[in-house]
Amino acid sequence: MPKKPKYPFAVLEFGKTREVAPDIFWLRMPLPFALNHINLWLLKDRDGWTLVDTGFNTNETRDFWTSYIEELLDGKEIKRIIVTHFHPDHVSLAGWLLKRFEASIWMTYSEWMQAQLNRFGGPTADIDARMIFYRSHGMTQNSVNGYRAKRPDFAKIITPLPHQFVRIMDGDVIKINGDDWKVITGAGHSPEHAALWCEERNLLISGDQVLPRISTNVSVQSNEPDADPLGLYLSSLSKFKKVQEDALVLPSHDRPFYGLHDRIESLKEHHEDRLKAAYQACAQPTTGTEMIPTIFNRELDEHQLGFALGEALAHANRLFFEGRLSKKFCDDGCIRYSQL
Ligand SMILES: [Zn+2]
């Protein structure tokens, strides 16, 4: 039975900061969702600061940033912004910060592209296509309308990104303050998520790929309906096995923790259990929406319902790829999964 993570630090208040390792600072910013916060990491660098992730574009977060800039940066500039992935809580203030600092933005190619596509309302941000997709998986029109009303508009939230960026790739080594940070990419949560591992200092900035308490959202998206994001996520998780067991993990949500390998095991067990539940739910032909209560046994608001359906479909598609479920369009226009 995997052990629970150990948390060496107390919860940090919004707008406060804590040095979690020499010259590495934890910043905690609010989010306007059920998941109410994100962690950012500010690393002292030779000629200024390197920042990892930027926060969600709200007045509240920008106000916190203004006081961080006055009090924390010690008169030095942010020289580089590394963004783990394109989700708006991570990327949306990058453009705003870059107006203030002459910094470069470092991202993987897919995440940079996806952020740009969303900003310009490309297929990944096509809300109408997403609504049709949800309806085809059995979501009621009422729920679809409720989700639509709550979903943030990426084009408005993501501040304009520069047209130039620095591409980072799996295995690249980024020098920060003389330390080597190796890029570990992963998929399933987003297309090419970048985590950063400093082996000498035994630190892992895990982004959203490994979180200590909640499981990372792994969803089938409307622009890639036949994808296997859970398969991608599980194989990405295995890439973290090379990180030392006693590394301090700095995740994007919740608190820094110890116990990476046990956490990876319990995430794998969690998905195994959900796969079993999804399979059992499909004894009769079943839509993704009908599968949700077997996978999430808690109340979900309309914003969470979109994540929940995406996640139910991720489990159903994994079972489809394992040859255990079939998937077919029915006369009522809905897609249903059945045991084979
Ligand atoms: Zn994310």
Query: What is the CA(120)–ligand 1 centre distance, in A?
Result: 19
Residues within 5 Å of ion ligand 1 by Cβ?
Answer: 87, 208
CA of 124 to the centre of ligand 1 (A): 15
Taking the mean position of all CA atoms in its chain, how far away is CA 93?
A: 16
- Give the model confidence (pLDDT) of 130-159 as tens digits: 999 999 999 999 999 988 888 778 788 889
pLDDT at 7: 98
Query: What is the mean predicted confidence (pLDDT) over 102-109?
Result: 97
Instruction: Tell me what pLDDT residue 244 has.
Output: 97
**Structure letter (DSSP) for residue 8:** -
Identity of the residue numbered 180: D
User: What is the distance in A from the centroid of ligand 1 to the CA of 236?
Assistant: 15
How many angstroms is it from 190 CA to the middle of ligand 1?
A: 7
- Extract the tokens encoding 217: 């959202």
Calculated CA dihedral for residues 100, 101, 102, 105, nearest 10 degrees: -110
| Mean pLDDT, residues 111-116 taken together | 95
Distance from the alpha carbon of residue 258 to the mean position of ligand 1, in angstroms:
21
Token pair 């994540």: residue: 307
**Residue 269 is encoded by which pair of tokens?**
């067990």
What is residue 149's predicted lDDT score, i.e. its pLDDT? Answer: 85
Q: What is the pLDDT of residues 174-219, one digit of tens each?
A: 999 999 999 999 999 999 999 999 999 999 999 999 999 999 999 9
* Listed residue (237, 240, 258) closest to 248, CA to CA: 258
CB burial readout 222-258, b (16+ within 10 A) else e: bbeeebbbbbbbbebbebbeebeeebbbbbbbbbbbb
Domains and CATH numbers, the chain: 17-323 (3.60.15.10)
Q: Distance, CA 87 to ligand 1 centroid (Å)?
A: 5
- What are 13-56's pLDDT values in tens digits? 998 999 999 999 999 999 988 789 999 999 999 989 999 999 99
Q: What is the band of 126 on the pLDDT scale with cuts at 50, 70, 90?
A: confident
- If you measure from the C-alpha of residue 41 to the centroid of ligand 1, how many angstroms do you get, rounded to a whole number? 15
User: What distance in angstroms lies between residue 210's CA and the mean position of ligand 1's atoms?
Assistant: 11
Q: CA-to-CA distance for 292 and 298, rounded, in angstroms?
A: 10
- Separation of CA 295 and ligand 1 centre (Å): 20
Strand partners, 17: 27
Q: Distance, CA 110 to ligand 1 centroid (Å)?
A: 14
Task: Report how far apart, in Å, the C-alpha atoms of 70 and of each of 19, 77, 78, 79, 337 are.
Answer: 17, 11, 12, 16, 55
